Structure 1
Amino acid sequence: MAITFLTTSKEIGDTSVGYGIKSIMNKIGILEDELIQDFKAFFNSIRYSDTPKSKMIKVDQIKEHSDLKEIPNRPGFYVIFSDYPMKHNACTCELIINGKCYKALYRGHSYGVQKRIGSHCFKSRYKGDYTVCLNLNGKSGINIDVDRRYCFHSWYVAYHRMSYNNRSNIFIRETAEKAFDECFSKPVGCKDKVKRMDKSN
């Protein structure tokens, strides 16, 4: 039997019949605000290093494409760090390895983080797979193994596990992006337009 959702001719959200999209969006926005505060508290409590305090984080260095095997190809949030010099990087997030500082150049999320990192850092192997990648010099994606601009620098990835019982939710991962940007400012290599949901009273 088909189920029919009824609405009136009024703006959806102002009706008492059926369901209100406006009300639902407001509730999602309120939930997003709460999750952002939770993620911000988490980000403010950790320090990125080769021995992160949280078991939710795994840090790996990548030089060659084969190094990606150390990064789980599972859902998660990630940050790409490097000592590659970039002007006008407002992001304050840093990774400390053996006393040396590496700046966050990109943050993102994916259902399969290993492949997504590959598209950022070994772009020539992933042509056509992704259109929005780490952008440092006006192009989407770089090749840290062959491009002389990048191969003499160090590159690290901090992977945040974001799955439960082998399930993941894009809303949660995108909320982590928004919280990261509010904590540290958006890394210079990110060209997306992530922002909080609009809420109407």
Structure 2
Amino acid sequence: MSLNIGGMRVALDGALEGVFADMRREFSAFFDSLVQGDILRLDGSNAVAELHELTNRESLDVVPNTPAFYVIFSDFKVDGSPSRLMLSDGRRAIYRGEGATARYRLESHLFNTAYEAGFDGRRASKDKFSENYYGACLKIKEDESGIDIDDEPYSRARWAVLVVRLPRSTSVIRKQAELAFDNRFRRPAASREI
């Protein structure tokens, strides 16, 4: 008797695609509940989604360091096709992503110098160290990875982040949120992954 491994793989891939499509529909419906048109509207009653203004590294301390999907908003000009999602003051979504530790992930994007120093310090202070290193970051320009919004020229812009808490989620689940977001609002210009 032989085994049809190829057929098993096709069946598994088909089943997974169906599950992923269901996840993207659920995330899309959730995103629709947060907006009027393409303007983000949070009234404080949503226990999963929260908007945080960011000005300096300390302003990031209120962001939960849990698994999450997030969207970075700014009025800093980013070349490329803009996302349709905006805040009521005109700041546009310039990046969307996901991470197992949202605060560290956002620090790697927006306070990159502090993130690098903090990561190196955490690694040096522990015998067993398993924290993910976030090296691929927001790209305002093609040749940079991560910025410092408390330094020029970024400090002249206004910054905020929408954090959607996704406890017990995996990266595979959070990536479906990214795809649902892109389908609903277009991929933000600084989300330059291929």
Cα offset, 1:168, TM superposition: 2.2
Distance 1:83 1:52, change over 3 A: farther
| CA distance in structure 2 between the partners assigned to 1:54 and 1:28 by the alignment | 29
Distance 1:53 1:101, change over 3 A: farther
The aligned counterpart of 2:29 is 41
More displaced stretch, 123-132 vs 180-189: 123-132
More displaced stretch, 184-193 vs 72-81: 184-193
The structure whose residues are more often helix, as a share, is 2
1:96-130 Cα deviation digits (max 9, x unpaired): 2xxx1110010001010000000000111233832
The aligned counterpart of 2:6 is 13
The aligned counterpart of 1:125 is 114
Q: Answer whether contact 1:124 1:143 (CA < 8 A) is retained.
A: yes
- Counterpart amino acid of 1:85? K
Name the TM-score, length of structure 1 as normaliser: 0.80
The aligned counterpart of 2:163 is 159
| CA distance in structure 1 between the partners assigned to 2:50 and 2:137 by the alignment | 21
The aligned counterpart of 1:190 is 191
| CA distance in structure 2 between the partners assigned to 1:187 and 1:78 by the alignment | 12
* 1:109 maps onto 2:110 in alignment: no
Cα offset, 1:88, TM superposition: 2.8
Distance 1:189 1:59, change over 3 A: same
Q: CA RMSD in A?
A: 1.9
Structure 1 residue ranges, 4+ long, deviating more than 4 angstroms after superposition: none
The aligned counterpart of 2:19 is 31
Q: Answer whether contact 2:82 2:94 (CA < 8 A) is retained.
A: no
The aligned counterpart of 1:145 is 150
Using the aligned pairs only, state the percent identity. Answer: 29
Report which of the two structures shows the higher radius of gyration computed on alpha carbons: 1
| CA distance in structure 1 between the partners assigned to 2:13 and 2:32 by the alignment | 28
Distance 1:57 1:118, change over 3 A: same
Q: Answer whether contact 2:34 2:41 (CA < 8 A) is retained.
A: no
Aligned residues: 174
| CA distance in structure 2 between the partners assigned to 1:145 and 1:46 by the alignment | 28
Name the TM-score, length of structure 2 as normaliser: 0.83
Cα offset, 1:89, TM superposition: 3.0
* 1:134 maps onto 2:138 in alignment: yes
More displaced stretch, 48-57 vs 116-125: 48-57
1:143-199 Cα deviation digits (max 9, x unpaired): 1112x1100111001000111xxx222221110000000001100111123xxxxxx
The aligned counterpart of 1:81 is 73
Distance 1:30 1:65, change over 3 A: same
